[in-house]
Structure 1
């Protein structure tokens, strides 16, 4: 325990731990070591962001599942004209947005498949701008958290445009922030196996950094628990940390707002991948340990950490609040991508359910904006015991 104690004390003292030390933390199997990692992550969470647990009232809006790619873990995509394929029109998008706003949503998270038919006058960007305009014209105050780096690359490739031009166009039309999805694991050897058609690691990093330079905040994610190694997990975290450091060093107007671990759900994945992974649902213990190590390694650079209740279930996500997370995510209202992959956590969470879960571990809760500003009351709501 001497080595692990030294690493953890180093983190608690405010010094950053090295990638090799972070890999070491992921290798310990002894219950006492894992308990110490958990305690340290929880202490760092308290030091860095306090005890209040936040949540956001939002809606997922997947406008199409027609997609040109065939990622090994995706059960969401469809070919045009096949059973289960959908492509929402403007009226349907407005209806879903209006319903979300009527239920208190401050954010619409909009992503979709890479639909090669989604064009206006032969232009992909024109179609995406119309999506944004449809929502923003009717609901200018809603925060539009839209389009992953994969979608940005798709638009640029289809229309022979630069990433910067696409991002500026979307920003000026009303996109407020980008989801940091499609990151999976930022290791190209792994990507060649699980998502060979997706953008490579460098392209994902370039688009995210360009967004920051242009004043567009992003989130960040990691798809964990499949074929990646602990070394590759930490290398992924190191690349995210470096993005934040660059944003700060160059005084960019935006940066990463949060980090989310997305554990692999493989019930609907191809048989070969399911067999290689060896299970179809997330390993909660391993996810929690990675959650703690992510808090310890990322330190001050990305202070907001969020679990996925869709993938872990609400109980698992609530447990993650004691392993370094400070946010319980969003209400979502409608979730397709993970649930179609076989996740059992649900597709919608009521505000009161999130609040009750947070109160159940004796923590205060506050509603937040997408960018982690407190909303509603000017004081935290504490758990009531008795």
Structure 2
């Protein structure tokens, strides 16, 4: 039998009300199978109501242009110091080669992020290097959507060059950046960040930079790194901050808004030993990720319509199951993925379009290719 408090909260969500943080927390803390089943069904219903039955995907390529990084996040197996084994820094020809390959494979998006490399400068300017990254791609392939540079990278450029966040974001927009990844969010709680990523920007700075992007008309995504040392209270607080950020963008009439929420469960197999030992496992717990996926839909769905799992972290089977727990998008092809795969993820580094389509069709749901901003690409559609 469903708990009466859970039932009441779910009824409010189905009537269109935003949940309070305390209501969201109560849902996250459920362990009874009947209550969890009711949460799943509610999230799935709201998904259908808010985003429809069609499951979308994007043909994209990740280009992580360097793994040289000044920071030492406790979860990261990707970063390297200069001269260390496994270090790399792509040159312009390598970037164009990867982009050309992506275009041949029908990509509509390049996602560009990398380590914080202090030597990545042109004439002593960090911003000039990042602009060159953008222009290298855009001059050759202007039709591609460039989804580039996390809030952490924006802060890094601004710090190195003595610029404001507005100046950096506007210059990158002018060069051809079309949207900003909402990565480096991890958990938007400074107590967690002091352990997880002590050298990274704090929660307020992340929110400020994303909010600045919205003011300037630049769309962003949003993420949460879950399942490590954070508490359910901190998870809900993170969701509440994202919801508030989106409400501000909408209420202020900004053309830049959050386009999607992506849950990124922690993979610790190859993560630095101290955090791996503290967390006590190497791979995500699927049941925990699915419950959080459902609660995120219920908590955010009125404001952030599109929800996406990570097939890299959960595997394609886990990501497909997440489509029954509130997700309406299965993500992208990626073509290459280094950051999570180097942490020991099981999902692989590249996904063929046919595999994504088959996974979606297994749920008797229609699929459709989209672009980064969730506009349909008419080449690949299946009707239910």
* Equivalent in the alignment of 2:296: 294
* Equivalent in the alignment of 1:264: 266
Q: Distance in 2 between matches of 1:275 and 1:124?
A: 36
- The answer to whether the 8 Å contact 1:284/1:316 transfers is yes
**Aligned-pair CA distance for 1:272:** 2.2
Paired residue total: 382
Q: Distance in 2 between matches of 1:99 and 1:268?
A: 29
**1:243-282 counterparts in 2 under 5 A?**
243-282=245-284
SS of the residue aligned with 1:199?
Answer: coil
1:29 matched to 2:31? The reply is yes
Q: Distance in 2 between matches of 1:141 and 1:364?
A: 27
Q: Distance in 2 between matches of 1:104 and 1:320?
A: 26
Q: Distance in 2 between matches of 1:17 and 1:83?
A: 48
- The answer to whether the 8 Å contact 1:73/1:266 transfers is yes
- List per-residue Cα deviations over 1:159-211 (Å, max 9, x = no partner): 01000000000000000000000000000000000100000000000000000
- List per-residue Cα deviations over 1:85-132 (Å, max 9, x = no partner): 000000000000000000000000000000000000100000000000
Q: Distance in 2 between matches of 1:91 and 1:227?
A: 41
Q: Distance in 2 between matches of 1:4 and 1:266?
A: 32
1:140 matched to 2:130? The reply is no
SS of the residue aligned with 1:375?
Answer: strand
- The answer to whether the 8 Å contact 2:314/2:347 transfers is yes
Structure 2 counterpart of 1:363, from 358, 362, 365: 365
- The answer to whether the 8 Å contact 1:52/1:380 transfers is no
Q: Distance in 2 between matches of 1:314 and 1:253?
A: 33
Q: Distance in 2 between matches of 1:346 and 1:22?
A: 32
* Equivalent in the alignment of 2:317: 315
Q: Distance in 2 between matches of 1:263 and 1:24?
A: 20
SS of the residue aligned with 1:145?
Answer: strand
- The answer to whether the 8 Å contact 2:77/2:272 transfers is no
CA RMSD, Structure 1 to Structure 2 (Å): 0.8
Structure 2 counterpart of 1:86, from 85, 88, 93: 88
**Any unmatched runs of 5+ in structure 1?**
none
* Equivalent in the alignment of 1:344: 346
**Aligned-pair CA distance for 1:380:** 4.4
Q: Distance in 2 between matches of 1:136 and 1:318?
A: 34
**1:12-27 counterparts in 2 under 5 A?**
12-27=14-29
TM-score by length of 2: 0.99
Q: Distance in 2 between matches of 1:335 and 1:270?
A: 19
* Equivalent in the alignment of 1:232: 234
Q: Distance in 2 between matches of 1:53 and 1:25?
A: 25
**Aligned-pair CA distance for 1:82:** 1.1
* Equivalent in the alignment of 1:187: 189
SS of the residue aligned with 2:378?
Answer: coil
* Equivalent in the alignment of 1:382: 383
**Aligned-pair CA distance for 1:274:** 1.4
**1:105-120 counterparts in 2 under 5 A?**
105-120=107-122
Q: Distance in 2 between matches of 1:121 and 1:80?
A: 20
* Equivalent in the alignment of 1:123: 125
Q: Distance in 2 between matches of 1:300 and 1:365?
A: 22
Q: Distance in 2 between matches of 1:194 and 1:268?
A: 15
- The answer to whether the 8 Å contact 1:359/1:382 transfers is no
- The answer to whether the 8 Å contact 2:267/2:343 transfers is yes
TM-score by length of 1: 0.98
Q: Distance in 1 between matches of 2:279 and 2:383?
A: 41
**Any unmatched runs of 5+ in structure 2?**
none
